């Protein structure tokens, strides 16, 4: 019988930190976005597109979205680990989650750099 | 084997109908549900972002979708989920820093999270959707 004690090491520490670091990035961007939209009050296509055409906002938005995807990966993976007990199904769901999130990151890049 | 003895003596209360989830617990489960819902709605939100910035025609399409009464209700729910996840997340970051971990403070901060996130939802909903 293997009697490993799964505490005390660094199990999950990296993800724990990334979950919080991405949260801070998203929180700062959320406030920035609300201030920018509040100040500009974009009511036309040109004004709305102009927000994301701006170099800084384009990078900030991309950084925000990448943070969303990484944050979502950790959160959704935790949900699968909590509720899905069969290993095969759990692995399948994790792979599917990671796959769509990587796809979203590519999509987000495409959306922003076509502006 | 001392551990085993302790485990056996622990009281158990599995009388489910009598267990009431306290407010911080309700906050916690909504944090999870809102996170999952936001994840599921990501393709819709990315499509909305793409349409809104791609061309004047697609911008009009996006506005038409957002203007639909049914979409407004979904988006209002989405804004609430986002604001709840945001406010509850800040509370968790503070708890991580050992701020407000006492029972009373934790109960109070969960009330604040509900009040602030619902207020923000109504303000943003009123400004953006109606």
pLDDT reading at A10 higher than 70: no
Chain A interface, Cβ < 8 Å to B:
20, 23-24, 26-27, 30, 45, 48-49, 52, 68, 72, 75-76, 79, 104, 107-108, 111, 114-115
- With bands split at pLDDT 50, 70 and 90, how would you rate the model's confidence at B6? low
pLDDT in tens, B12-50: 878 888 888 899 999 999 999 999 999 999 999 999 999
Half-sphere exposure of B107 (CA within 13 A, CB side): 4
Extents of the domains making up chain B: 26-128
> Model ipTM?
0.90
pLDDT in tens, B83-116: 999 999 999 999 999 999 999 999 999 999 999 9
Average pLDDT of chain B, as a whole number: 92
Helix (H), strand (E), coil (C) string for chain B: CHHHHHHHHCCCCCCHHHCCCCHHHHHHHHHHHHHHHHHHCHHHHHHHHHHHHHCHHHHHHHHHHHHCHHHHHHHHHHHHHHHHHHHHHHHHHHHHCCCCCCHHHHHHHHHHHHHHHHHHHHHHHHHHCC
pLDDT in tens, A49-108: 999 999 999 999 999 999 999 999 999 999 999 999 999 999 999 999 999 999 999 999
Pick the CATH number of A13-113 from 1.20.1300.10, 1.25.10.10, 3.20.20.80, 1.10.287.130: 1.20.1300.10
Residues of B in contact with A75 (CB under 8 A): 32, 35-36, 39
Residues of A in contact with B120 (CB under 8 A): none
CA gap B129, B121 in Å, rounded? 11
Extents of the domains making up chain A: 13-113
Fold observed for domain B26-128: 3 helical TM bundles of succinate and fumarate reductases (1.20.1300)
pLDDT in tens, A17-51: 999 999 999 999 999 999 999 999 999 999 999 99
Predicted confidence at residue A66, as pLDDT, reads: 98
- With bands split at pLDDT 50, 70 and 90, how would you rate the model's confidence at B120? very high
């Amino acid at each position: 019988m293997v009697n490993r004690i799964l505490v005390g090491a660094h199990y999950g520490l990296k993800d724990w930190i990334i979950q919080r670091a991405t949260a801070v990035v998203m929180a700062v961007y959320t406030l920035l976005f609300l201030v920018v939209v509040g100040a500009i009050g974009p009511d036309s296509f040109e004004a709305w597109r102009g927000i994301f055409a701006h170099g800084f906002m384009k990078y900030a938005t991309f950084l925000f979205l990448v943070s969303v995807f990484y944050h979502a990966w950790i959160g959704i993976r935790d949900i699968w680990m909590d509720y899905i007990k069969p290993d095969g199904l759990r692995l399948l769901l994790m792979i599917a989650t990671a796959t769509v999130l990587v796809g979203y990151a590519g999509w987000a890049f495409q959306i922003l750099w076509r502006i | 084997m001392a551990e085993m003895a302790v485990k056996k003596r622990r009281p158990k209360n599995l009388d489910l109908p009598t267990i009431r989830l306290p407010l911080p617990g309700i906050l916690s489960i909504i944090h999870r549900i809102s996170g999952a819902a936001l994840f599921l709605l990501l393709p819709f939100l990315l499509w909305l972002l793409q349409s809104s910035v791609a061309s004047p025609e697609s911008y009009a399409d996006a506005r038409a979708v957002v203007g639909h009464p049914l979409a407004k209700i979904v988006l209002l729910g989405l804004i609430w989920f986002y604001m709840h996840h945001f406010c509850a997340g800040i509370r968790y970051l503070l708890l991580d820093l050992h701020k407000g971990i006492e029972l009373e403070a934790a109960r109070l901060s969960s009330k604040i999270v509900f009040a602030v996130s619902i207020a923000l939802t109504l303000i943003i909903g009123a400004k953006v959707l109606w």
